Amino acid sequence: MTANTLKKKIDGYLPLLTIKQQTLLLEIIKNLLNVDIEAKRISRKQYNIEIKEAVTSIEKGDFIKHEDALKELSKW
């Protein structure tokens, strides 16, 4: 989908929203832009290293079961 087509579709939907919904949508867009600006991406190589380390930890038994984690969280 081209940027122009996308803009036309959005422009078509905006009038259908209430002012409150339009304001909410604007805040969502602002938040998305802030997340993208602040996001620090890692390289594919680093990602693969971290995945390999995680798999190794799990294979060694170094993990917490979901049920146990929920029990710990309920104590907070």
Q: Is the pLDDT reported for residue 13 higher than 90?
A: yes
Domain ranges of the chain: 3-38, 44-74
pTM over 0.75: no
Half-sphere exposure of 21 (CA within 13 A, CB side): 6
Q: 14 near 22, Cβ under 8 Å?
A: yes
pLDDT for 23-63, tens place per residue? Answer: 999 999 888 887 656 667 889 999 999 999 999 999 999 98
Extract the runs of DSSP E, i.e. beta strands, from the chain. Answer: none
